[in-house]
Structure 1
Amino acid sequence: MNISGFSPVSSNYASTANRSTGNAASAGASGRRAEEGQNGQLSREEAAEVAELKKIDSKVRQHEMAHMAAGGGLVTSGASYTYQKGPDGVNYAVGGEVGIDTSSGRTPEETIARAQRIRAAALAPADPSGQDRAVAAKATQMEQEARGELAQQAMRGATGADGDEPRQGKLAGYLAADKPAAGSSVNIYA
């Protein structure tokens, strides 16, 4: 994943769906049709599979909506879903992703703020996926690098051109040299 480009924040429940549908998937279409009643109702196994797919679909959609809500202006594309067709002929979402802009800001301060928002968007769902955690880790790394750059800028700003004496010390020395000693000046225009 390239932290300076666009990266998806994704979740994938397909493995759960495939585990839950393993037995039904191995049964042939003719076997399923033989189990159906005269009125075209689903078998018990198929009904259980549909119930599981509905549960996964709901979970996937909530997960992706959490990313979109927390991502705000960083979302580059709405949620896109991976579907699995259930025994009832309906497509159910079993995975999804939301595009998040993970590019850095123009300044270290902007980069820190963006990294915090990226991390919040990646970890927004109640059950972040491995991909979500990877995006959050990249955002944390981006924030740390920006903080390091900010610290270096502060150090460069605190030292003089020669890097030996702090600017504050040089300025104080200059101001002290221009001040006359107390009582050494006389006002002759009285």
Structure 2
Amino acid sequence: MVISPSPSALSFHITSIGLEKSARAQESKQSQETLSTQKKDVVELQNRDREVRNHEQAHIAASGGLTKGGASFSFQRGSDGKLYAVGGEVSIDTSPVPGNPQATIQKAQQIRAAALAPADPSAQDRAVAVAANAIEATARKELQEKTKEDETHPERPNEALSSRIDLFV
């Protein structure tokens, strides 16, 4: 007796194998797409990290020593498990130089240069530059008032010197 498989059983088996292959191919395609997306995300995070670090370094380099410490960063973990800088900031001393408006003017100019140093200044960077302009304007006004006061009340060093001489003679 010869047993031959029925055509319907055989066709079911072939169809079943075809579905398994199709499912595996679909899973493989999805897996490749996921890996591709993850790689793309990591590359984007790497680029952002480099951009953020360069941006903050530009502030530090142009600050002329006015920074308070180094840069601080906010991080995001990539799909590769590594941390990437996605934001950053540098603190800078914006206080006026007491009693010295000329030095305050120079400091304000340095602050503005540091704020606008990156290739693409942020809104916060531009706000700091505007604040530096205000600091400079206030210092210029103070310097102008001081100059005006010096012109109206000039010191007379010769009189002061002769007074001291008179006291000693």
RMSD (Å), alpha carbons: 1.9
TM-score normalised by the chain length of structure 1: 0.62
Distance of 1:60 and 1:91 partners within structure 2: 13
Residues 1:109 and 2:102 are matched in the alignment? yes
Residues 1:89 and 2:81 are matched in the alignment? yes
Residues paired across the two proteins, number: 125
Deviation for aligned residue 1:153: 1.3
Higher helix share: 2
Unaligned runs of 5+ in 2: 1-28, 155-169
Name which of 155, 167, 170 aligns with 2:148.
155
Q: What's 2:91 paired with? A: 99
Q: What's 1:27 paired with? A: none
Higher relative contact order (CA 8 A, sep 6+): 1
TM-score normalised by the chain length of structure 2: 0.69
**AA of the residue aligned to 1:97:** E
Q: What's 2:162 paired with? A: none
Distance of 2:31 and 2:63 partners within structure 1: 45
Unaligned runs of 5+ in 1: 1-33, 161-166, 168-190
Percent identity, aligned pairs only, is 51
Q: Computing the radius of gyration over CA atoms, which structure comes out larger, 1 or 2? A: 2
Distance of 1:112 and 1:145 partners within structure 2: 9
1:1-190 correspondence to structure 2 within 5 Å: 35-36=30-31, 43-106=35-98, 107-160=100-153
Deviation for aligned residue 1:74: 0.3
Q: Any runs of at least 4 consecutive aligned residues in structure 1 with deviations exceeding 6 A, and if so which?
A: none
Deviation for aligned residue 1:99: 1.2
